[in-house]
């Protein structure tokens, strides 16, 4: 997933120049009023020149200085984005390293995994790094588990493998949860920013899939189960809000019959979705009130 950055603040040209014109007009009348009270013979000329300078300065500031500064900012951002996308953790591990975990090799691999973990922690909200460390941890745990089944009691490898499993197991959990949290949060925010219902639903479902994939490893993890419930509620709210919005549009156009039908569709989906009881009841009460109101309006319309 690409990394998202905060864009520099940039007013659209229309908004910027409307604001500049308003400031210029205010400046003109302010200067004109001051000069008029001072018995200046041609206050409007001086005020006009001053206002022209203000407007001209606004144009120069936007089109030259601010545009250049924004351009430099975006170039730096793209370069950083490219570096992050192509970032790969330096690795001394190969598939052969996992063939047989000797005492020395096991200690070296665990130490290397710990180094990778520290590197990723320093990168902040970089989800791909967490995913990469998780996958390495997962591979180590799988190999260690198989070799623990065959190692003899009393072997010095036994304590090392158990200790490695304990250390890497903690990192496995930490980086999986971090990856799922970052990805789900970014996708949820992206879903909120979309306009169309299909884009919102697809992106929110993608976030839910990530959380559910993490739950396969840690089904009892409270952070994951809470995120799963929150995302399911979010997806349900998108669907139900869509039907309610359609119903409101139909009611506004005077098509009360269709509006009632759409509200009933919303109730149908509401019953199917896994929402909290209090949330479901509150939404259902609101919809039922709207349906009853539309029925009354429909009756009154027929009587006219």
User: What pLDDT was estimated at residue 293?
Assistant: 87
User: What pLDDT was estimated at residue 156?
Assistant: 85
Say which residue, 271 or 109, is predicted with more confidence: 109
Per-residue pLDDT band at 27 (split at 50, 70, 90): confident
Per-residue pLDDT band at 4 (split at 50, 70, 90): very low
| Percent of the chain residues past pLDDT 90, beyond the cut | 29
Per-residue model confidence as pLDDT tens digits over 146-199: 888 888 888 888 999 999 999 999 999 999 999 999 999 999 999 998 888 899
User: What pLDDT was estimated at residue 77?
Assistant: 56
Per-residue pLDDT band at 220 (split at 50, 70, 90): very high
Handedness of CA 299, 302, 303, 304 (dihedral sign): positive
Q: What are the structure tokens assigned to 265, written together? A: 């569709």
User: What pLDDT was estimated at residue 123?
Assistant: 81
User: What pLDDT was estimated at residue 216?
Assistant: 95
Per-residue model confidence as pLDDT tens digits over 119-135: 988 887 788 889 999 99
Q: What angle do CA 286, 188, 241 make, to 5 degrees?
A: 20
* Average confidence score pLDDT of the chain: 82
Whether residue 142 has pLDDT greater than 70 = yes
Per-residue model confidence as pLDDT tens digits over 273-284: 666 666 677 888
Per-residue model confidence as pLDDT tens digits over 234-274: 998 888 888 888 888 888 888 888 888 888 888 887 777 66
Per-residue pLDDT band at 5 (split at 50, 70, 90): very low
Given a contact cutoff of 8 angstroms between Cβ atoms, the answer to whether 47 and 31 are in contact is yes
User: What pLDDT was estimated at residue 228?
Assistant: 93
| Percent of the chain residues past pLDDT 70, beyond the cut | 82
Torsion of CA 183, 189, 192, 195, to 10 degrees: -80
Which CA distances in Å does 27 have to 11, 212, 260?
21, 59, 55
Cα–Cα distance measured from residue 126 to residue 201, given in angstroms and rounded to the nearest whole number: 24
User: What pLDDT was estimated at residue 84?
Assistant: 46
Within 8 A by CB and 6+ apart from 180, the residues are 210, 211, 213, 214, 224, 227
Q: Which residue has the tokens 């500049």?
A: 20
User: What pLDDT was estimated at residue 87?
Assistant: 46
Say which residue, 170 or 83, is predicted with more confidence: 170
Given a contact cutoff of 8 angstroms between Cβ atoms, the answer to whether 204 and 235 are in contact is yes
User: What pLDDT was estimated at residue 10?
Assistant: 53
| pTM metric for this prediction | 0.63
User: What pLDDT was estimated at residue 169?
Assistant: 96
User: What pLDDT was estimated at residue 303?
Assistant: 57
């Amino acid at each position: 997933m690409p990394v998202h950055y905060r864009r520099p603040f940039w007013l659209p040209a229309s908004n910027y120049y409307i604001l500049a014109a308003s400031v210029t007009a205010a400046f003109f009348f302010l200067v004109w009023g001051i000069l008029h009270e001072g018995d200046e013979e041609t206050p409007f000329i001086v005020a006009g020149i001053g206002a022209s300078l203000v407007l001209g300065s606004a144009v120069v500031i936007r089109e030259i200085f601010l545009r250049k500064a924004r351009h430099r900012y975006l170039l730096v951002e793209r370069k950083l984005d490219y570096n992050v996308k192509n970032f790969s953790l330096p690795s001394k591990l190969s598939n052969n390293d996992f063939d047989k975990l000797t005492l020395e090799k096991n200690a070296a691999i665990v130490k290397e995994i710990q180094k990778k973990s520290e590197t990723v922690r320093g990168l902040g909200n970089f989800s791909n790094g967490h995913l990469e460390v998780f996958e390495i941890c997962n591979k180590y745990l799988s190999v260690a588990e198989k070799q623990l089944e065959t190692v003899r009691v009393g072997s010095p490898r036994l304590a090392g493998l158990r200790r490695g499993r304990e250390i890497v197991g903690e990192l496995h959990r930490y980086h999986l949860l971090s990856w799922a949290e970052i990805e789900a949060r970014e996708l949820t925010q992206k879903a909120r920013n979309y306009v169309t219902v299909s884009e919102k639903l697809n992106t929110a479902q993608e976030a839910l899939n990530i959380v559910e994939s993490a739950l396969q490893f840690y089904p009892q993890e409270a952070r994951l189960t809470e995120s799963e419930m929150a995302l399911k509620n979010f997806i349900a709210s998108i669907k139900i809000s869509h039907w309610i919005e359609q119903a409101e549009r139909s009611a506004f156009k005077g098509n009360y019959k269709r509006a009632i039908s759409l509200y009933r569709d919303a109730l149908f989906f509401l019953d199917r979705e896994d929402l909290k009881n209090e949330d479901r009841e509150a939404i259902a009460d609101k919809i039922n009130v709207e349906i009853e109101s539309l029925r009354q309006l429909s009756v009154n319309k027929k009587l006219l």
